Amino acid sequence: MQRSWVLPAILALLGCEQGSDRPIQDAAADAVISADSAPRRPEDAVSDSVPSADLTEFHVRVLEFGSGGVGATARRGGHLDPPVSESLIVGPCTFIQPAPWDFCDPACVPPEQCRSDGSCTMPKEPLGAGDITVTGLTVGLVLSPETRYQYYQPEFDPEPTDGDLFEEGAIIEATATGGNVPPFAVSVTGIAALQTDLPCPPGLDSDSDLVVTWEPSVGGGTIRFRMASSNHGNHYSSILCEASDTGELTVDHSLVAAWLSGWHPVDSWSLERSQRGSIDLPPYRVVLTASHSVGCSW
């Protein structure tokens, strides 16, 4: 039986990340892991019209959690993570080992912040698009900005009680009144809930591959599997896999061995199915994501 990881997931979703202009990379460092040394994330491929490196991304996310929770947020894409000292890519998966942060000496003078390379920099200007209304869900949803776009507060009407936020194939649309990011309308289709028999804990063996299986969806989507420490931040090694929604992916035993050799305060795995839609409003790209996640910690 899978144990719930809704609370740490929601905490990570709603405020544990710092902003940058880089595309979202959940386990990659800002300006540290290049496209050649890390797997291609779904957010990096939402549009072919303009390279994502030329646009500042703004993300709206609507999520269902396998244990019955829901979440929604909007924020600037990207965040700062520790620099990477080691990465290993096998198949659809990458092992990532963060290196220690450098300290800024002399200390940065607020509001400057210390970067991972030991230099001081000004924080990015908060980015937002005013009030955002999301339609096509099983309940009403408005995302309202707080403290000049530092955070967005989801307001459900009525409050969902069963974790079933959208139907597979439903057209979900987000419309915004506009702020730093101009008014927009972007849509995506709802996805099927994930079903997996992966145990918790998964019974890892450094000499054996880890085979992750799930019930594939007719509607498809992108599958992301991650093993990490579910504490605040990304200061410990992790494995990130991305694959098509075929029902199976394999984590090579060499990556499993590398992950087991490190220490993680709270071991965890997560499996997510998602669909993404986007619209380019240069110099911005707006990305709308609908996803369903399951996972556990031990």
Contact 90, 253 (CB under 8 A): no
Name residues whose C-beta falls within 8 Å of residue 296's C-beta, 6 or more positions apart in sequence.
2, 3, 4, 5, 200, 201, 268, 269
Res 45: pLDDT: 34
Name residues whose C-beta falls within 8 Å of residue 70's C-beta, 6 or more positions apart in sequence.
62, 63, 64, 156, 160, 163, 165
Structure tokens at 192: 């099927």
Could you state, in order of their start, the residue ranges of all structural domains in the chain?
Answer: 6-297
Amino acid in the structure at residue 231? N
Res 235: pLDDT: 78
Contact 291, 73 (CB under 8 A): no
Res 233: pLDDT: 62
Q: To which H or E segment does residue 267 belong?
A: strand 267-281
Choose among 12, 274, 288: nearest CA to 129. 288
Q: What is the pTM of this model?
A: 0.79
Percentage of the chain beyond pLDDT 70 is 79
The per-residue pLDDT for range 186-209, each reduced to its tens digit, is 999 999 999 999 999 999 999 999
